[in-house]
Amino acid sequence: MYDKMRGIVLNTVRYNDRTSIVHVYSDTHGLMAFAVAQGKTQAARMRNAMLMPLSLIEMEARITPGRELATMHDMRRTMPLMSVYCDPVKNAVAMFMSEVLTHAIQERERNEALYTFIYNSVTILEHLERGVANFHICFLYRLGILMGIEPDVSSYREGYWFNMNEGVFVPSAVNGRGRYLRPHEASVIVTLSRMRYDNLHLFRFNRDQRNLMLDVILDYYKLHHSTLGSLRSPEVLKQLFV
């Protein structure tokens, strides 16, 4: 059985000398894993180039009931990501997005809203000219909304603490009842909630401020989404932006 679909490449893992496993988030089947043959031919090199992280592709997939791995046929790019792969800053952001999505997405079922969000995020990053330094923290916050772990910013008041376990702002911390962010850190979440892809350039942060935002939202998401685990790419981004 062959199904036609669009997909976003999340990562490629070497399985053995002959085969790699490519994880793709598809528009019709959610997270999928494909066995892809390795080789040194020109065709193999071209195929590998199309399977870089966040590549936007169309394909026909052979899905066999009872088998975890599908087979990919007639694959092609839907849009070349020249800026994402050639610009070292955007490339670092793309690697972060790829790593976060690889850890965060576990369900093998269709989620049209999530697919559309990721697709739009990749295309916006490709064409973005201003505010790239803030893109990763906006992406991370907006992803959490779709994962159902958005903080309740309506409960915010100046000077309030943030209860990490409950996702709400409170007048004071209660010992032994969860993890809390102090008021100056809690306000970071409100700032994040105001960021959108079309206004990123309006937010001016220094390195310490931006890194604090990244740490705060990552800690909150890890508390509510254990699969995020230990990520390597955030450390690269922390050194990249001034």
| pLDDT, tens digit (0-9, with 9 covering 90-100), for 166-181 | 999 999 998 777 899 9
DSSP helix/strand/coil, 135: helix
Q: Are strands 2-14 and 19-26 parallel, antiparallel or unpaired?
A: antiparallel
State the residue for tokens 């962010």: 181
Domains of the chain: 1-80 (2.40.50.140), 82-242 (1.20.1440.120)
Task: Write the DSSP string, 170-231.
Answer: ESS--TTSS-EE-HHHHHHHHHHHT--TTSGGG----HHHHHHHHHHHHHHHHHH-GGG---
pLDDT at position 242, please?
66
State the residue for tokens 């685990």: 229
For the chain, the C-alpha Rg in angstroms (whole number) is: 20
pLDDT at position 43, please?
66
Parts of the chain with a pLDDT under 70 = 1, 39, 41, 43-44, 242
Torsion 116-120-121-123 (CA) sign: positive
pLDDT at position 44, please?
67
Q: CB-side exposure of 193: number of CA atoms within 13 Å? A: 14
pLDDT at position 39, please?
67
pTM for the full predicted model = 0.92
pLDDT at position 106, please?
83
State the residue for tokens 């702002």: 169
pLDDT at position 124, please?
98
pLDDT at position 1, please?
65
Tell which residue, 36, 43, 34, 135, has the closest CA to residue 89.
135
Describe the strand order of the beta sheet including 168-170 as a list of residue ranges: 168-170, 161-163, 180-181
pLDDT at position 178, please?
82
